[in-house]
Amino acid sequence: MRKDLLTGEMHPKKEMVRIVKNADDTVAIDPTGKAAGRGAYVALDPAAVKQAKGKGIIEKAFSLKVPAEFYDELFAYVDHQKARQELFGQKQ
């Protein structure tokens, strides 16, 4: 179980996406869940990602400026993974 950065709710790790702050102070999506750096988990909830963009939740968690494009990329990734989960019954 991991805590969702955006909502604070607990979810199984398989139902979440890891985002990571790399050593060069950039934030990226970590589909493998094994990238080096400080990580945080986001549930497969596109609505929460949209709300997080306005509130700056990821900026606060990682203490750095996150480009708006990252939120768009995260939204697209989460939306795609949620659709896959609904279609296939589990995250691939």
Q: What CATH number does residue 69 fall under?
A: 3.30.1230.10
Give the CA angle between residues 49, 51, 46 to the nearest 5°. Answer: 30
Predicted confidence (pLDDT) per residue in 30-74, tens digit = 999 999 999 999 999 999 999 988 898 999 999 999 999 999 999
Q: H/E element holding 87?
A: helix 68-88
Strands 10-11 and 38-43: unpaired
Q: Which domain holds residue 56?
A: 2-88
Structurally, the chain folds into a number of domains equal to: 1
Its pTM surpasses 0.85: yes
Residue 92: predicted pLDDT:
47
Q: CA 14, CA 85: separation in Å to the nearest integer?
A: 10
